[in-house]
Structure 1
Amino acid sequence: MKKGSKIFNVLGLMLMSTLIVSCNENISNNKNDEIKIGITLYRQDDTFISSISSNLEEISKENGDNFNKNIVLEFVDAKASTINQGNQVDKFIKQDYDVICVNLVDRTAAATIIDKAKSANIPVIFFNREPVEEDMNRWDKIYYVGAQAEQSARLQADIVAEEWLSNKNYYDKNKDGKIQYVMIEGEPGHQDTLIRTEYCIKALNEMGFQLEKLADDTANWQSDQANSKMNQWIKEFGDDIEVVFSNNDVMALGAIYAINSNSNIIRKPIVVGVDGIKEAIESIKIRDMTGTVISDANAQAQAIWDIAINLANGISLEDVIGSEREKYKKIPHTKVTIDNINELSNE
């Protein structure tokens, strides 16, 4: 998963376009003395992807000395280009990397990457953007690390339900008993966009809530796009918006900036996001954002590291993903509201 405030400046920070991390000081030219892991990212300026990368780098530094080999991680930025990403994978293959990790630009392009890696017999770990099941079944050395998207949506629904019921007279602005909402969606075609959008509403319906959608649109995980959409909706619907669902925190923060900047909003709506980034946690503390759902970037990075290192060393994956035949490692979420934020902050 960036405008006019310190929030947007933070979200604009980028990693180096290419970062090589060596875990041991003594670098050998002998391939048998090193493990090379290539990581291609759809966009390094994506806040959550940047967090996974930073955590992965830190895990590598902390654990590299546990091996009698030099561990090399190379991060490259595809800059949202499928062509760039294909060329980066080609480079990793040509340079005989041990494992390739891919944060897909386009999840429908996974088959091409898989076939290239299969021909070179180099395992691939996809993360954050899940290939379709058919592609995951193309080879037995394909893995996926991500989050439990449906759970995140259902936890969003729990946050909305709890807040709505705690102060229905405030949030039900037109007193019709329905939740009038807008939905800010992530990138079209991304599995988390599809699942989060569907199941937060489905979960509330299952709880017995009636909802009325005022508007929905994509903002591609971007804060500035969400800010623009929210400003449009405020002009159209004014104070009738009772809940803002956002597929991630970055877009939720963009919506909040629009809400706080607009005099047409008399009573602030419920706003929920996903990811649990630092800026979202701070927004909850000052009661701008109602709640978020932590998507554990560190746990995902740890899973990527564990699978990659085990594959490179020929070690069983049973302790990492449950069995040698399993291909998926999906990390659970945790919901965050003002009620538990201090407890989570102290962990």
Structure 2
Amino acid sequence: MKQTGLLAAVAAFTMMATAVNADTIGFSSPNFDDNFQTALREAAKSRAEELGHSIQIEDAREDVGMQLSQIQNFIASDVAAIIVAPVSAAATPQITKMAEAADIPLIYVNRRPADLDALGEKAAFVGSDETWSGTLEAFEVCKQAAGTGKAVMLMGILSNEAAVTRSEDVREVLKLSMCNGIELVAEQEAKWQRTEANNVVSNWLSSGLEFDIVFANNDEMALGAVQALKAAGVSMDDVLVAGVDATDDALASLGKNELDVTVFQNAKGQATGSVDAAVKAMNGEALPNWINIPFELVTQDNLKSYMSQ
């Protein structure tokens, strides 16, 4: 009888452990069409499965209402934790309150929440300090341009904290004495998208706007600028193009001397960190409000070290 009882206890423990390991993590991505977000969610899926958890990933399509609905559905499904790359920072206080009310751990990833300083013990942000992304980008461009030129800037969706911060970083760097010969002649939102950026730059070129520097808030827009410039017959030797993220496509473009500067944003590091933080919170561990994953400058000089990341 004792052996039977022991076997039953072991079986019960095994079932309980299996149930815990099988806890589902809900993940709301802002945009499946974005290359960086694709790398982020794929790395998160891989990490969750590596740790024995399932992960349900939804596409918010850059729609705040859709993302809020996804959070509500995750809560109704009683997921063990929620990971969110926010569509809009302005919506994060509402998302935080929803998760807190349901007592579900909440991890923001990649895009900084507006209520970062008010996150509780079961919530955290895993991402990079955006102050450095645009700063590193602009400082290197100033250096390569020897402090002179006419520049344009392609901005992401301006409801995103990253777009606002990266754009302001560029403007602030251009105020430095080493950059005071660079004039920012135009800037426009291109919604993080390659096609949109291609259209914007094509319109600038067709209107006769003269520029030899392109700052882009991300690599997708930088690559769209490269496409437009090449289609217009502009030699890539005559223009500096810079982006942020160090995506595979951007590194390949850098290797072909098209793109000149990018900034490595560690998608795998952010994704892995967000899943690890979610699991810690699921296990009752308190979290810091911010787990920082540093940005790193990428140029021709150190390109090879990033090609396999």
**Normalising by the residue count of structure 2, what TM-score does the alignment of the two structures yield?**
0.88
Determine which of 265, 280, 285 is the counterpart of 1:315. 285
The CA distance in 2 between the partners of 1:226 and 1:124, in whole Å, is 33
1:33-87, Cα deviation, whole Å (9 max, x unpaired): 63221111122222111111111112223333xxxxxx12111112222222222
Aligned-partner SS, 2:258: coil
Are residue 271 (structure 1) and residue 241 (structure 2) matched?
yes
Report what 2:51 is aligned to.
63
Query: Across the two proteins, how many residue pairs are aligned to each other?
Result: 295
Once the two structures are superposed, residues 295-330 of structure 1 have per-residue CA deviations (whole angstroms, 9 ceiling, x without a partner) of 00010011101101111112354xxxxxxxx30112
> 5 Å matches for 1:180-219?
180-210=150-180, 211-219=182-190
1:57 counterpart letter in structure 2? K
**Corresponding position of 2:130:** 149
Structure 1, 246-255 or 42-51: larger mean CA deviation: 42-51
Q: Any conservation in 1 of the 2:242–2:261 contact (CA below 8 Å)?
A: yes
Measured after TM superposition, the shift of residue 236 of structure 1 is 2.7
1:130 paired with 2:127, answer: no
In 1, the alpha carbon distance for the partners of 2:217 and 2:252 equals 18
Is the CA contact (8 Å cut-off) linking 1:38 and 1:97 kept in structure 2? yes
Task: Give the conservation status (yes or no) of the 8 Å contact 1:37–1:101.
Answer: yes
Deviation at 1:28, TM superposition (A): 7.7
Paired with 1:234 and 1:94, the residues of 2 have a C-alpha distance of: 50
Match of 2:196 among 208, 222, 225: 225
Distance 1:48 1:130 in 2: 15
Backbone CA RMSD of aligned residues: 2.3
Q: Does 1:258 align with 2:228?
A: yes
- 2:27 paired residue number: 39
Q: CA deviation at 1:246?
A: 0.2
- Native 8 Å contact 2:255 2:303 kept in 1: yes
- 1:174 is matched with none
Question: Does the 8 Å CA contact 1:186/1:219 hold for their aligned counterparts?
Answer: yes
Is 1:113 matched with 2:84?
no
User: 240, 251, 257: which one pairs with 1:287?
Assistant: 257
C-alpha spacing 1:87/1:266, structure 2 compared with 1 (3 Å)? closer
Aligned-residue offset at 1:205? 2.5
Alignment pair present for 1:337 and 2:266 = no
Q: Which amino acid aligns with 2:58?
A: V
Pair 343,81 (structure 1): closer, same or farther in 2 beyond 3 Å: closer
CA contact (8 A) 1:181 1:213 kept: yes
1:332 alignment partner, SS class: coil
- For the 8 Å contact 1:179–1:209, the answer to whether it is kept is no
Q: Is the 8 A contact 1:274 1:294 kept in 2?
A: yes
Q: How does 1:167-186 map to 2 (within 5 A)?
A: 178-186=148-156
- The 2-side partners of 1:132 and 1:89 are apart by 17
Partners of 1:47 and 1:266 in 2: CA distance: 23
Which has the larger displacement, 200-209 or 151-160?
A: 200-209
User: TM-score, length-normalised on structure 1?
Assistant: 0.78
Q: Could you tell me whether the CA contact under 8 Å between 2:194 and 2:221 is conserved in 1?
A: yes
SS of the equivalent of 1:87 reads: helix
Amino acid at match of 1:229: V
Mapped partners of 2:127, 2:30: distance in 1? 15
Change in Cα spacing, 1:56 to 1:232, as seen in structure 2 (3 Å) is: same
Q: Name which of structure 1's ranges 263-272 and 113-122 shifts more when overlaid on structure 2.
A: 263-272
Which letter does structure 1 place at the counterpart of 2:295? H
Structure 1 spans left out of the alignment, 5+ residues: 1-25, 65-70, 166-176, 318-325
Paired letter, 1:112 = Q
- The answer for the alignment partner of 2:67 in structure 1 is 85
State the identity %: 28
Distance 1:266 1:84 in 2: 40
* Counterparts in 2 of 1:316 and 1:29: CA distance versus 1, 3 Å: closer
2:178 aligned counterpart, secondary structure:
coil
Q: 1:32 to 1:260 in 2, by over 3 A?
A: closer
- Are the counterparts in 2 of residues 35 and 312 from structure 1 also a CA contact under 8 Å? no
What residue ranges of structure 2 are gaps of 5+ in the alignment? 1-13
2:279 aligns to what SS in structure 1? helix
